[in-house]
Amino acid sequence: MSTAELHTLTGAYALHALPDTELRDFERHLADCEACTQEVRELSATAARLGLAVAENPPREMRDRVLREITTVRQEAPAHGRPERTGGSGRTGRWYAYALAACVAAAAAFGGVAVWQNQVAQDARQEVDRAQRQSEELAQVISAPDARTSSGELTGGAHGTVVVSQSRNRAVFLASSMERPPSGKVYQLWFNDAGTMRSAGLMDPKASDDAVLLDGPVDRASGMGITVEPAGGSAEPTSSPVALMDFPTA
């Protein structure tokens, strides 16, 4: 299983839902990946906060209502019409959407229900939806029939691979062994539009291995660059690029 696929298993791991083979692979990965360790910690804390808030005996009809509402959770579309992924990310990506429903169902099934503020639950659900959409789009770009890749060595012995799908008009950047940026700084990705750099999002400053869906469409960009910017990013590059990569051509 690739590093990019392992990054998508944090939700299923936090819910103890990985099969034995994937569990062993992910726990080996987790020992060396601070980004996944932090994400697992945050997902587990969210589940605990939802499940261990002030507990009350639920009304008799609560359990039936919760189980009915679970059926309204948006699920991943059937794979008909697109290639089926053989890795774990296509299947486990659904766990991001199921996390809150699973916590509520478990609380109801064991005779207690968590009472939490509406804003907390809404914020958590929005974060789950955002993570799910990004994970699904990243997987769709990598598995697209017209996906093309280009790889190269980066500063400090790091390695980078960019995957571009013209049909989806999106790109993914896969990095390994990247040095951490200086304190208070972050790696920012850029589309290279004929020499004009267009922001494409930020990398996780704590992750030496990362899989990033570039923000925005590829359009006519011929490549991408990476610069070191202040935390939060910049409107335009403020430093020399630490890497420049051309997009693959058909």
Instruction: Tell me, yes or no, whether 117 and 130 share the same domain.
Output: yes
Instruction: Tell me, yes or no, whether 127 and 66 share the same domain.
Output: yes
Question: What is the model's pLDDT at position 220?
Answer: 92
In the block, tokens 């987790």 appear at 30
Query: Which residue, of 85, 111, 143, is where some domain finishes?
Result: 143
E strand or H helix at 47? helix 34-51
Instruction: Tell me, yes or no, whether 21 and 129 share the same domain.
Output: yes
Instruction: Tell me, yes or no, whether 165 and 43 share the same domain.
Output: no
pTM tops 0.85, yes or no: no
| pLDDT tens, the chain, 250 aa long | 677 777 788 877 777 777 888 888 888 888 888 888 888 887 777 766 555 554 556 666 666 676 666 666 555 544 444 444 444 444 444 444 455 555 555 554 444 444 444 555 566 666 666 667 777 888 888 888 999 998 888 877 888 899 999 999 999 998 888 889 999 999 999 999 988 999 999 998 888 888 889 999 999 999 999 999 999 999 999 999 988 999 987 6
Tell me the residue range of the domain where 240 lies.
148-246
Instruction: Tell me, yes or no, whether 198 and 131 share the same domain.
Output: no
Number of domains within the chain: 2
Relative to beta strand 223-230, strand 210-213 is unpaired
* Structural contact between residues 189 and 200, judged by C-beta atoms closer than 8 angstroms: yes
Q: How far apart are CA 146 and CA 168, in angstroms?
A: 9
How many CB atoms within 10 Å of residue 175? 25
* Structural contact between residues 209 and 154, judged by C-beta atoms closer than 8 angstroms: no
Q: How far apart are CA 143 and CA 86, in angstroms?
A: 10
Question: What is the model's pLDDT at position 191?
Answer: 96
Instruction: Tell me, yes or no, whether 110 and 198 share the same domain.
Output: no
In the block, tokens 């062994």 appear at 177
Instruction: Tell me, yes or no, whether 70 and 182 share the same domain.
Output: no
Q: Determine the 3-state secondary structure of 185 from DSSP.
A: strand
Question: What is the model's pLDDT at position 50?
Answer: 58
Instruction: Tell me, yes or no, whether 32 and 76 share the same domain.
Output: yes
Instruction: Tell me, yes or no, whether 62 and 158 share the same domain.
Output: no
Question: What is the model's pLDDT at position 167?
Answer: 92
Q: Where are the alpha helices (DSSP H) in 86-234?
A: 89-92, 94-109, 118-143
Query: Which residue, of 125, 143, 161, is where some domain finishes?
Result: 143
Query: Which residue, of 126, 143, 160, is where some domain finishes?
Result: 143
Burial environment of residue 133 by CB neighbours within 10 A (0 to 12, 13 to 18, 19 or more): middle
